[in-house]
Amino acid sequence: MTTPTAPSHTPPAATTTSPPRARRRWLGPLLLRLHFYAGVFVGPFIVVAAISGGLYALTPQIERVVYAHELTAASPDAAALPLADQVVAAREHVGQDETLVAVRPAPGPGATTRVMFAGTDLGPSETRAVFVDPGTAEVRGELTTYGTSGALPLRTWIDQLHRSLHLGDPGRLYSELAASWLGIIALSGLAMWVVQFRRTRRRRDMLRPGTGRTPYARSRSRHLAVGIWVMAGALFLSATGITWSQHGGANVTDLRGALGWSTPAVSTALDGGGDGAGDEHAGHTAAVTPSVSSGTYAPGAFDSVLSVAQEVNVNTGLVEIRPPAEPGTAWVVQEIQRSYPTEVDAVAIDGTTMQVTDRVDFAEFGLIAKLARWGIDLHMGSMFGLPHQIVLLLLAVGIVAMVVWGYTMWWQRRPTRTQHRPGAPPARGVLRQVPWWGTVAVLAVAAAVGLFLPLLGVTLAAFLLVDLLLAWVGRRRDASRRRAAGLEVGA
């Protein structure tokens, strides 16, 4: 009897191929690490810029309360006197030796006229403004004003806080850092938000703040939800703020000039006669002969040039009249209305012949020049009145809240509740996980950013170097711990 043999089970041949390596995710961790560094180190600058910017948006209403006496005419129903009488009253108030640089007629009933003088004790872009009641020529007071906006001392103080922390040009580095990194933080946060939004099933929780079972989850929910709602505004404030910055702003100006996108400016050069438009107004008013060297002008000249300008392209109450800055130059009458619709037309007038020598109309600005004008005015809150100002204030509050919740999350990530130290940061050494082509792309972007926005480029390079250094230190520490553990086992 034959014993059946058991079926042979030949083991399968061992495979020689290893399982595919999981594809490393490096872009998300890199953005998270960059977002973390920027939030920790630049967050305080962003908070100061947001708070001061929100306050600045409300300064027009505050000014009308604080400086009500200077800004309000005592006789609002009286007919306005000629500008000549108002200029004479202002000059008698300050003395004949002061240099008159501009006059801003009262923009409407109940407002005062500003007669503006230069001063050796004033800072750049500052003037000494004498406020005159247009109905009686009574001097209502004098204040220092700043810039084209005519900011009074309180608004100027807030503006300089927002611009430079009252530290002059060195302080402007803070605002450039805040404006530049606000955009980077917003874009990196947006990218991470989109990735998580696509992965999560509870997408509504990413749009409404405060959801979550733990304190950290609630802080994170608020940070994410408020961040996405203020995203567009933060990017806009970053882009427009850079145009004012010390280094990046200069590059923006140079780029616009190279591409022919500069804002047109009226020419004050006199070539012996006006253009075709100017000839129509020759002889409409009496010629005047100013004394440029002493900064004094026949008072009637201000009424004369304003009358000519109103027949050309000046049709708003917010106007500034500037006498010739030096011999051989023209008067300038400039609209200064920054609310919508924008009115910034300007006309240059030969004071000896009353001929128009040049004119600039906002309607003829190029698209980029118009966008630049609107961008600045939107940033300052002057386009759409009180609703616009409230939106900027809410945007500032949202940005501050995002930074605060970011720091709260950092604190809540600490290992235990009993250890009073900052929380754990995202994984370091992200750059070591980036493929070669990713490294090239990161370096190319960093170089381009550094050329156009030098301060941002320098700090970005510093963050990347710090990340590499921390990764190297971490590897050395881990290796030391492994060696120490091996020695203990061997013992």
| Mean pLDDT, residues 445-458 | 84
Alpha carbons 406 and 192: distance in angstroms, whole number: 14
Given a contact cutoff of 8 angstroms between Cβ atoms, the answer to whether 234 and 181 are in contact is: no
Cα–Cα distance for residue pair 263/373, rounded to 1 Å = 8
Peptide bond into 341 cis (omega under 30): yes
How much is the pLDDT for 449?
81
d(CA 336, CA 326): 22
Strand-pairing partners, residue 151, are 146
User: What is the spatial order of strands in the sheet that 355-360 belongs to?
Assistant: 139-146, 126-132, 113-117, 100-104, 319-322, 331-335, 346-350, 355-360
Distance CA 184, CA 352 (A): 54
pLDDT at 281 over 80: no
Which residues does residue 230 pair with via DSSP β-bridges, in sequence order?
Answer: none
Short-list 287, 419, 390, CA closest to 57: 390
Strand partners, 104: 114
| 28-37, 183-192, 425-434: which is most confident | 183-192
- 69-78, 118-127, 356-365, 416-425: which range is least confident on average? 416-425
At 376 the three-state DSSP class reads helix
What distances in angstroms separate CA 48 from CA 8, 40, 44, 175, one per listed residue? 80, 14, 6, 9
Q: What is the per-residue pLDDT across 4-13, written as a single tens digit (0 to 9) for each?
A: 444 444 444 4
Residue type, 204: R
Q: Do the Cβ atoms of 89 and 132 come closer than 8 Å?
A: yes
The band of 464, judged by pLDDT with boundaries at 50, 70 and 90, is: confident
Q: How far apart are CA 97 and CA 480, in angstroms?
A: 78
10-36 pLDDT, tens digit per residue, is 444 444 444 444 445 677 777 888 888
Note the pLDDT of residue 288: 37
Give the tens place of pLDDT for each residue, 107-151: 999 999 999 999 888 888 899 999 999 999 999 999 999 988 899
pLDDT for res 297: 73
In this prediction, residue 103 carries a pLDDT of 97
User: What is the number of other CB atoms lying within 10 angstroms of the CB of residue 352?
Assistant: 12
- Distance, CA of 354 to CA of 361 (rounded, Å): 19
- Bridge partners of residue 299, in order along the sequence: none
273 vs 136, 233, 301, 348, 358, CA distance in Å? 38, 48, 18, 12, 10
Q: Does residue 154 sit in helix, strand or coil?
A: helix
SS3 116: strand
Q: Using CA atoms, how far apart are residues 287 and 355, in angstroms rounded to an integer?
A: 10
- Residue range 287-338, pLDDT digits in tens: 333 344 345 678 889 999 999 999 999 999 899 999 998 888 999 999 999 9
pLDDT value for 19:
44
Beta bridge partners of 296: 291
Tokens of 351: 């004071």
219 close to 409: Cβ distance less than 8 angstroms: yes
* Whole-number average pLDDT of the chain: 84
What CA dihedral angle connects 217, 222, 225 and 227, to 10 degrees? -120
